Chains A and B, each alone.
Chain A
Amino acid sequence: MLMQVLDVEKELENFKEQLNLLAMIFDTRRKMRREIYNEKTGFYFDAKYQFTTKDDAFNVYVIFKDGKMTVADGKIDNPNITIYYKDKATLANLYNKSAEESLDYLLTNEMGYVGNMSYLTKFSYLTSLVMGAKIKDYKGPENRLLYPIKDIDHRKLVNESLNRKIDNVQVLKDPFLAQYSINDFPRLKYLKNRRFALKPAICVERAKLVTEYHKENGFEFDKSGNPFDPELRQAGAVRYIMSNKKPIIHDKHLIAGSTTSKEVGIPMYPELIATAIWPELKTIAERELNPNDISEKDADTLSLEVFPYWMERNVREYCRTKNNYPKSQALEEGWVFYFMMKTNAISHTVPGFPMVLNEGLESVINKAKKLEKETDNLEKQNFYKAVQTAMEGVLEYSMHLSEEALRLAESMDLNDPEQAKRIEELKELARICAKVPAKPADTLYEAIQSIWTSFVCLHCENANSALSIGRLDQMLQPFFLKDIEKAKDEAEKQKIIKKAIELVGSLFIRINDHDPLMPNVGWKLFGGSSSDDTVTVGGVDEKGSNAVNDMSFIILKANEMLGFQDPNMNARYYSGINSKEYLRRLTEVNLNMGASPSIHNDKTMIEALVHEGFSLEHARDWATTGCVEPTIVGKHYGHTNCMLLNLVAPLEMALHNGIIPLTGEMMGIETGDVRSSFPTFNDFLDAYKTQLKYLAEQSIEINNFLGEAHEYVHPTPLLSGFYEGPLERGKDLIKGGAIYNTSGVALVALTDVVDSLLVIRDLVYNKKEFNFATFFEAIKNDFEGYEDILNKIEQVPKFGSGEEGTVEMAQYIVDYCYTIYNSAENYRGGKYLVGYWSISYHTGFGMLTGALPSGRKKGKALTPGLTPAPGTTDILLPSIQSIAALDYLKMANNASYNVKLVPHPGDSHEKTLDLFTSYVQSFFDLNGMQWQFNVISSDTLRDAMANPMDYRWLLVRVSGYNAYFTKLNKNMQLEIIERHEYRPK
């Protein structure tokens, strides 16, 4: 013991010594000093750090000033950040862990911070430099090919054919397009294989440009020293990015333009979350899970020029300062309560691309110009100016693409037949980019290019987090029909159909040109998510008529052949209006894709939206955003993933009298000692409700604060120009300019809460098998030594069993959550809509959660989306019935039901389709909302864990979104394997 204490003290001395060493290095090494004093820009890093322990037993502070670092014992006033460790021993143990790991310890509460998070990430980076972190083995600015370009997709696609027209199909004789395979499209095949071989690279282009612009033009104040109108500032920045962005047309691609300057790139948004990657700048290329390329030069650019500018000027820190570090933000940074997407992005929405195709962006500019003249309200004038400025940036970028196409064409050799072909393609691209998106599109090709150019530009403003394409089939069908009309004979018609498949496939390949920025801790906890650029097909049109058309099937075909994670494919199915054959085809694509598309019950979704006040016509024009959430195309700004709230955290707090066991800290409300305070089950239930209500209210508060921060730091004049509403109202989307202004909530792990409550009611109160004190001990001890209790828990009927009382308990909690959120208003004056899906947060939250009354052990994943716990029932039907029985009107932000259903190897394709289709149809007949099959067997998944190289193509549904299985962290892989696998037989 004495020895240990001495060791701790010695290590603490070492820690101080290391700090002093760091200070010395700044003095002696120029390469290091530039991190705190940049001679080029004259930037001095001016900061105060306090290092302490929770018990205040150890205090050291660090000052950076005038290009020097000094270290001293004791406390300092007004530090930018206080970094505290659990106790001295923890500090002694942790201080020299790698920078990459540094954020991990926040999770376990071995360390924490109060203050500006960017200071923590910067400090971690500095430490990493001292410890010798260097970018190794870097072979150039281009993407490295991680793997050879070859066929890796092992799927055996099986296609039925259907030789008659169905739904609203006008042209396709076989809507299932069974005759085509990827081998008919060599270009798509090559580009697909190439995409799977590429290592994504961090792209600093946007970050650099946005910083340059603001350094030149100001942020808080404009050049003349007046407060800078956020709309004008943002519009200028966005235009600057677009007009200076490198116009790129990648070899062999049919669509011009790229999200980043890399072949597959990670765009950076320093005004949002980008500084979180700071500690890893030198190691990200080598990290184990999903490494990203970055050059030494780019890493330096970020650390020396970009990040320092944004340390205070990002949404998270602006919100913190403005609201004086609210408790609701501390809860967010406690990881286990809720996650607020607004610190990353607010992009979850569906812009009005149909307007772009039919009217062109010049019409938006003209409209804004006219409105600007008509108003004498200065704020509105500024907004209209901002829209025009931003839109002009799009047109500039598009012209640059056109010029680039010509330049490339001219650089090629007309006498080489291959190149001659490409020259023709490039000339056509040059023509198209000179026309759209400025003007309305006339052909399918123009329409697709117009969408993509707009999409690239929108990502110059909005982070790549589930900005969604919308109802692609509805948008494209008129252009497809127009093309077909020009066909002189059947052969030409067939050519146009084939071209349409290739063009859609080309768009999907382009959609895969960007990945989200993800710090290591993000991959560890969550992850696997792409940018989730979602496409929706099918359903009904605004009048309620069948909207499944030729393009619906063409899109499904392209999606199926490519097998990419993105676009996240979603299909609407209106039973009784859309054909059963269409549903059958959706099921077939799902079987071929492994985990996609996600199939939605159009009827319940529309009814749920109408219940929330959307007009029927508008509700019928919904498209999926992100994972599964509905957005009305071009009319609805509904940040559908504004938060994910962990329903289990309030349960843990109810069990621990307001304390969250992860940290042992009082975070909730004192509702009473569970061992003695709750004479009846309802008393305990009330305690849970109290904690839940408190947490939900806090989540609403911080979402509103962050929304207000966005209004200042990151308004969206460009995006606003793509909507109906902002121009009419003279208001940015972020200020409530859209016609509909909701916020979408995802509640995670309903099943775990319901099962826990069922167990408590049954065993503690009804049967009195043991008292709460005993049960509490068992839970605290992770049921170690309490196997009898676990056995009894196992016998209690849970949610999904179909037993009496189980659905009722779930409905009770759903009703309660609905009441809380429905009575709140967001910062844009809109409603909160509630949904039940979890992305991958059921795994992340699960890691941080102790044992639960449901018998779930400490650290295990919670249940994904809205799905019964594994082992609740051996048969699928009660599970389907239980989920479908919940009131869909109270889940307008949708729910995701994950079913791992593996076809029986002996069954024919036809029989499997019969069966799978009837499950979905039945689920929908029972008013279930959304269905996604995982059809990959656990054996295959285990094999993929052992041989990841062979399975890079393997897609699984996590909850709501697809992910490549081999890119997931181990916990998530295990969770998916452990999900209950229903096997026919």
Chain B
Amino acid sequence: MENITLLVDIKRNALDDGPGIRTLIFFKGCPLSCVWCQNPEAKSPNKELSFNKNICRECFACIEECNQNAIDLSYEFRIDRTKCNLCGRCIEVCPNSALKFVGQEYRIKDLVNIILKDRIFFQNSGGGVTLSGGEPLYHINYVKDLVKELKKEAIHICIETCGYYNREKFYELILPYLDLIYFDLKIFDSELHRKYCNVSNERILANFEDLIKKKSIKIVPRIPLIPKITDTQDNLSKLADYLKKLNVRKIILLSYNPLWISKSLMIGITPKYDYSEFLDKKNKERIKLIFSDFEINDF
């Protein structure tokens, strides 16, 4: 039993990732590596050190404290990651918490306790837990025990997945405990998928189709609207056709949020993709038109 794992964050009172009031669990680590990833701090399965330039008071207590000489002012984002051994001493001395670990270990028991605190809100709102990330199924051995525990407590469980999972294992260990799946579909073209997400999409699409055919629980595909990558006329039309063929008529569109870029910089990764605008009205109308046959959310 793998009863401990790294989480990026636990968000209580989450309202946009499934029905009702939910607790949202962000797992750390993902088999994909999308260039636009909205939660870049959840990509790596390892603990990371983040530095928030905006709240640093420049007292430089961290420089004195670091015995690896990893704090280097010549770096715009302060930390020489080749030297840093994640000892955490700089975090201890930072008066404004500008330095922080990304990734905290949680035992299943403790995580379940945190979740159960809000049970009454789940009950009254038809809410529950949403496993997100990163990719929750990247931690399948942990998640299998977690969902079992939560099901014992009759908690509604939703999972948000990139779809790149081992089908057999997923069906056996996880699916029986789930109530809802948010299944991400990003790019229809396999080559482009590989280009932008680091893996091709055959496995994902096959998983999706099989799941749809299985008709075991509610599955809602989610399409991130990434400017110039996923939101192209070509890609969205293909996805729409594909879903229609599968008789799927309800989808969730996720609008692009450029704030991820600063999150990426904080963990010392310079993004390869850079688009700093929010979705504009004109594009929104264009996209709505593509999905006019679908039931869509307000995005």
Contact = CB atoms under 8 A, between A and B. Distances in A.
Contact of B124 (A904, A918, A984): A918
Q: Chain A, interface size: which category?
A: 20 to 34
B225 to A, nearest CB: 15
B298 A906 contact: yes
B276 interface: no
Which secondary structure dominates chain B's binding surface?
A: loop
B124 A877 contact: no
A669 interface: no
Interface in A905-924: 906-907, 914-915, 917-919, 921-922
Interface in A768-827: 788, 791, 802
B68 interface: no
Nearest to B298: A906
Interface string A52-86: 00000000000000000000000000000000000
Interface string B105-135: 0000000000001101101111100000000
Interface in A835-886: 875-878, 881
Interface in B51-80: none
Contact of A922 (B15, B96, B121, B126): B121
A906 B299 CA distance: 8
Contact of A985 (B15, B95, B123): B15
A830 to B, nearest CB: 36
A686 interface: no
A881 B95 CA distance: 30
A921 B13 CA distance: 15
Contacts, number: 48
B20 A918 contact: yes
A778 B222 CA distance: 53
Contacts of B124: 917-918, 921-922, 925
A875 B121 contact: no
B125 A877 contact: no
Residue among B121, B123, B125, B298 facing the most chain A CB atoms (10 A cut-off): B121
A788 B57 CA distance: 11
Interface residues of B, number: 18
B79 to A, nearest CB: 22
B21 interface: yes
A877 B95 contact: no
Contacts of A919: 21, 121
B125 A914 contact: yes
B250 to A, nearest CB: 16
Contacts of A921: 124
A25 interface: no
B120 A922 contact: yes
A877 B118 contact: yes
B256 to A, nearest CB: 15
Given A791-B96, A881-B117, A918 B16 contact: no
A877 B13 contact: yes
B58 to A, nearest CB: 14
Nearest to A982: B13
Contacts of A944: none
Contact of A926 (B95, B120, B127): B120
B288 interface: no
B15 A984 contact: yes
Contacts of B96: 791
A802 B126 CA distance: 23
Residue among B13, B118, B127 facing the most chain A CB atoms (10 A cut-off): B13
Given A877-B13, A984-B15, A985-B15, A788 B121 contact: no
A876 B127 CA distance: 15
Given A877-B117, A881-B117, A926-B120, 7 more contacts: A876-B13, A914-B126, A915-B20, A919-B121, A922-B120, A925-B120, A984-B16
Interface of B: 12-13, 15-16, 20-21, 95-96, 117-118, 120-121, 123-127, 298
25 contacts: A791-B95, A802-B117, A875-B13, A877-B12, A878-B12, A881-B117, A904-B15, A907-B298, A914-B125, A914-B126, A915-B20, A915-B21, A915-B125, A917-B124, A918-B20, A918-B21, A918-B121, A918-B124, A919-B21, A919-B121, A921-B124, A922-B121, A925-B120, A925-B124, A985-B15
Question: Shortest 7 CB-CB distances between A and B: which pairs?
Answer: A918-B125, A918-B124, A906-B298, A921-B124, A984-B15, A875-B13, A922-B120
